[in-house]
Amino acid sequence: MAAPASRRAARSLRTLACIALAATGFLATAAMAAGTDAERARFRQAYAAAQQGGDAWRAQAAGLEQYVLFPYLEAAALEHDLRTLDRARVEAYLTRYPGLIPAADLRRDFLGELARRKDWTTFSAMYQPGLGDSLSCFALQAKLSRNEPLVFERDLADLWKKPNLPNACDPVIAAAHDQGLLTADRLWARIQTAAEAGKGGTVASLAPWLPPSDAPAGKRIAQALNDPAGALRDASEWPDTPRHRQALTLALQRMARKQSTAADAAWQSLGPRFTLSEQQRGAVENALALFHATDFDESALSRLAALAPGAQTDATREWRVRVALAREDWAAALTALDALSEAQKDDGEWRYFRAVVLQKLGRQSEAQALFRSVAEEATYFGFLAADRVNAAYAICPASMATDETREAALLSDPGLDRAFELYAVGLQKFARREWAAALSGRDSDTRRLAADLAFRKGWYDRAVFGLSSGDALRLYEQRFPLARQDGVVEQSSQAGIEAPWAYAIIRAESAWMSDARSGADARGLMQLLPSTAELVARRNGLAWSGGESLYEPATNIVLGTRYLAQMAARYSGAPWLASAAYNAGPNRVDQWVAARGGLAPDLFVASIPFKETREYVARVMAFAVIYDWRLNGNALSLTSRMTPIGSAYALPTSGAVRRPVSCPSPAVAKPTPPSPPAVVEPAPAAASSAPSPDEPRQ
């Protein structure tokens, strides 16, 4: 569907910023794909003109007709003029450029415009299945406009399985109801799907259509999801029926996440009134125990230990360990570690903490052997373990063999050619889409070779994402690029922080995608919010050109390193605590420090209630070790960067003791497990049906 003018204007500003970035060659190199510098410069000018609509761009594009990106120019102009386009102009473009991404986009957007116009005749003539739920529902609206009845199995069955649908589907669902297609069984089936996904809005919209005898239960399931506190207040008046038991279970689970103490009181009052199944009781007890644990309540450990086997999950078993570690109850921690699943016991985190616990219990030989085993892995816990036994860090770099014939074939691939050129001119979003389409279905060796090519051309995020499994994890040069021309070392020095830490933050935050943008509107390499960046600029007397400037790496790094320095100063210089604050916010970290600030750093990190922040701190600190090694040939010990809370951290001097790096024998060497970046590619992704138990509460 066509974007509002304001959104198009914002997108144009951002695109121009990206094009300006590419013009500087900041993250790109000169040898990119087949285009010449002159062609790229002319294309940038023509593309900026095309984004304003009309045909003025054609004069600036003279001579570019054979340039691989030429189709993107006309597409940009047509997209701008979407509301005035007719079918002939669109179909002429689609005929000239069949199969190209801008052609597919134009078809999709023009169909959305036709739906806005309610030109259902033209819409039906141009529609193709598989273009998304909105257009599928518009196609059904077109059918309804011709007075054609809906057939549930043919028209709605696939859509009906989805817990949430776009607004374009509302008239279709209403028509299906009016035609008598939404039987009670079908309504309940979708209500169940939506309830399991936590989509209370969907349940609320469907409940009034249930038979009068069922509607109250449907509304109460919606209330449980949308207003659990209100549902629990009302539940004493509910009948003890299967649907109401489900509503009560959902409300208690939701309330446990928000206010575990209030949920406890409601459970004590309401539990005896309802004949919940064993599974439902287990689900409630699980939620209560888990969220008392994330609150570190006094009863948390006993609750977790008392859970019935059927009510236990990996999350409750894990949190039993975390609570015991936070209490420094080593006997309880060992019992909890023994209760982990076999898969959990094999995880590096729990092997490390088993060694810590064994050491605390005086079982030194067992602890040392386990530390040495974990130290054979190039991970956060592997580095911590190596520090415990004074071992070298087990980093085993590998290199890729060159294959000029295959490289030439890849570079001649039209899709990859377009991808590299789009990156060269600063259209990174399109570049990633062309990249994904060109490599779809290709074998792993080809994908790795393409990622290495991208790395050598300065397109670092393709290497980070493309070399993320198996033996490719040992390609440290590609996976942890230094990009020395980006100013990280110089800006870190000026800000008073360590360059390896700043590099690690970039790698964890954006994986080197300079146009990365999070759902919270954090932008660029170091994922700064515009409001935060503006304050940092003002505090440091730096120029501020608005949020769009954060997509320029130079600006982002200047402001990001200063913000890191600001966070470090708040925590006595400690990079690990500052990293936690960078991710979760300093106010939350201050709360955790107030509650558990006496813990050793590794135990404190293990006790962080937010899974994302725990993993983020571990990822950043491990990445800092790897970047330190890449910059200096060896690395400061991870432990030296994880100073006790309240102790001052001093920047390393030139004579600082560094830990050597060596590769264990092939029999024991293990690649670094993949660490997903905090920011994923800006492409549609299915949201998790249920958040992690220890995610931040709303």
Catalytic residues: 509
Tokens found for residue 118: 């309610």
DSSP secondary structure string, 488-537? HHHHHHHHTS-HHHHHHHHHHHTTT-TT-B-TT--BTTTTB-HHHHHHHH
Buried b or exposed e, range 313-341, using 16+ CB within 10 angstroms? bebbbbbbbbbbbbbeebebbbebbebbe
CA-CA-CA-CA dihedral for 375, 379, 380, 383, to nearest 10: 30
Q: Which residue has the tokens 């279905």?
A: 441
Tokens found for residue 651: 């920047």
Start-end of H helices in 235-299: 242-258, 260-270, 278-294
The whole-angstrom separation of Cα 580 and Cα 567 is 9
Residue 662 DSSP symbol: E
Tokens found for residue 597: 């600030």
The whole-angstrom separation of Cα 688 and Cα 694 is 14
In sequence order, what are the beta bridge partners of 377?
A: 670
Start-end of H helices in 541-599: 553-570, 575-584, 586-596
Q: Which long-range contacts (CB under 8 A, 24 or more apart) does 91-99 make?
A: 91/126, 96/71, 97/71
Buried b or exposed e, range 43-65, using 16+ CB within 10 angstroms? bbebbbbbbebeeebeebbeebe
The whole-angstrom separation of Cα 442 and Cα 436 is 10
